[in-house]
Amino acid sequence: MSGALTGRRALVTGGSRGIGAEIVRRLTADGAAVGFTYSASKADADELVADVTANGAKAVAIEADAADPTQTAAAVDTAAAELGGLDVVVNNAGIIYFGPVNELTQEQYDRLVAVNIGGTFWTVHSALKHLREGARIINIGSCNADRVSAPTSLSAYAMTKGAISSFTRGLARDLGPLGITVNNVQPGPVITDMNPGEGDFAEYMKKVTALGRYGHTSEVAAMVSFLASSQSSYMTGTNVSVDGGYTA
C-alpha cells in the first residue's frame, strides 16, 4: 500500500496511543498527511509527531476532548486548515467502562455515550463541509457490537459500538449520492497498553477466537489504510471485522 494515499489528507480522532497511533503511522507511511486529536496524552502525541515527521511525513497533533462538540468542531476545522483540506476521517476516539449495568454511574454512562457515539457523530457533522466526492469516513467500532462472549460487564460499551454500526449503514445511504463512502472497522482482541496480550483475561479471549491469538494494532491499521484508498471505492456501509474469528 506504500504511496497509495499520496496527496490524501486525513483526520484521526484519538490518535496518540494504541490503535489510533498505529493508524496515524500507517496512513502517513502510505503517503497521507495526517492530523490527529488527543485529549490527555500530550507527551504521547508530541512523540508520535516527532517520529512521523522524522520520516518525512506530515502530522499535526490537535488537543480536543471527543465528548465536547465544540472542541470536536474546532479540531476538524484546524485539521482542514493545517492540511489544506480533508479527504479521510477516521473516528477512532473511544473509551470503555467495565461494570454491571446497575453499578455504572450516571457520569460514566454519560461520558461513554458522549465519547463513543457523540464524538463520532459530531466529528462527521463538522467534517462534511470539507469532504468532497471520493472522500472516506472510517469508523472504528468493536467486535462487541456483534458478540459479547461471556458475562464480562461490557453491555453498555457494546451498546455504544452497536450504535456506530447502525450509524455507519445509515450514513452510507445518506452520503452515497455524494460519492463519499462510510465503513466501520470492528477490531477484536488487539494488544495495546490497555489490553495486554498476556494474563487470565487474555488467555480466555484467545480461546474464543478462531485463530487463537490476539491481534496487532498494525493489522487494524492495514484495513483502515485500505478503506482510505481508492482500492475500496465500491465498499460502503460495511462492518468489517478484524477480530481473528471472534465473531465467526
Mean pLDDT by 10 residues, the chain (248 residues): 89 97 98 97 96 95 98 98 98 94 96 98 98 98 93 91 98 98 98 88 93 98 98 98 97
CB 227 within 8 A of CB 200: no
Q: Residue 59: inside a domain, yes or no?
A: yes
Q: Residue 235: inside a domain, yes or no?
A: yes
The reported pLDDT for the residue numbered 47 is 97
Domain range for 58:
9-242
Total Cβ atoms within 10 A of residue 222: 17
Q: Residue 101: inside a domain, yes or no?
A: yes
Looking up residue 25, the CATH number of its domain turns out to be 3.40.50.720
Taking CA atoms, 144 is separated from 62, 154, 221, in Å, by 29, 8, 19
DSSP 145: G
Question: How many structural domains comprise the chain?
Answer: 1
The reported pLDDT for the residue numbered 201 is 86
Q: Residue 2: inside a domain, yes or no?
A: no
Q: Residue 193: inside a domain, yes or no?
A: yes
CB 238 within 8 A of CB 184: yes
The reported pLDDT for the residue numbered 153 is 87
Q: Considering 157, 204, 214, 246, which one is annotated as catalytic?
A: 157
Residue 157 is among the residues annotated as catalytic for this protein = yes
* pTM for this prediction: 0.97
Taking CA atoms, 37 is separated from 42, 45, 72, 186, 241, in Å, by 10, 8, 9, 20, 24
Q: Residue 248: inside a domain, yes or no?
A: no
Q: Residue 4: inside a domain, yes or no?
A: no
The reported pLDDT for the residue numbered 1 is 53
